[in-house]
Every structure is written in structure tokens, then in C-alpha cells.
Amino acid sequence: MTEPIYQKHVFICVNVREGKISCKGMELVEEMKRILNEKGIGKEIRVNKSGCLGQCALGPMIVVYPEGIWYSKVSIKDIEVIVNEHLIGGHPVERLRIR
């Protein structure tokens, strides 16, 4: 069996539902990519734009695999915390998690 290409996959909902609650997470995608590249780990952790993750009222939503950790109501300031504590440090950010 081959090694996975990426250590982690981060899916960030960028869905926009006209007139309805939606995540609109494109700014979060750009910020996470910027930080990962700045730290030199942009090739190890893949950030993907996602469509609706089915939790719109809790958005902006992020899910991290392979752990399957879901984050809700993520702000732009939370992105660096998720990168440092979870993606690098290995400890999910408990205050942002949904279960």
C-alpha cells in the first residue's frame, strides 16, 4: 500500500445559498492556504473548497480528515488557531467542535 499523498484534507464550505443562511467560506480557504504556505506545509495538508456540508445554520463549517473533526462558526481569526493547534499540533480545537 502506498503512503497517502496528503497528511490531512481540510474541507471548507464555500456554499452560497441566495437568501438563506450559508457558509460563504472562501475567505477562510484563502487564509488557511496562505498560512499553510507561509509555514511551508502547503503540500502536506490539502485545503479543498466544499459545497454544502449539511450544517448551514452552524456555518461557516470546516471538516478535517482523516480524523473526521467538524468545526462550526469558524471565523477568520480561528483559522490560524486550527492550523497551529490541530493541523500542526495534533490537538483539535475543542471550543469550535461539533459532535
Instruction: Give whichever of 17 and 34 is closer to ligand FES, judged by the CB atom.
Output: 17
Examine residue 23 and tell whether it contacts ligand FES (CB under 6 A).
Answer: yes
| Type and span of the H or E element at 76 | helix 76-81
Examine residue 63 and tell whether it contacts ligand FES (CB under 6 A).
Answer: no
How, if at all, do strands 62-65 and 45-50 pair?
Answer: unpaired
Examine residue 56 and tell whether it contacts ligand FES (CB under 6 A).
Answer: yes
DSSP labels, 14-48: ----TTS----THHHHHHHHHHHHHTT-TTTEEEE
Least distance from C-beta 13 to ligand FES, angstroms? 3
Q: ∠83-57-46 over CA atoms, to 5°?
A: 30
| Stretch of 53-61, 62-70, 80-88, 91-99 lying at the interface with ligand FES (CB under 6 A) | 53-61
Residues that bind ligand FES (CB under 6 A): 13, 15, 17, 22-23, 52-56, 59, 61
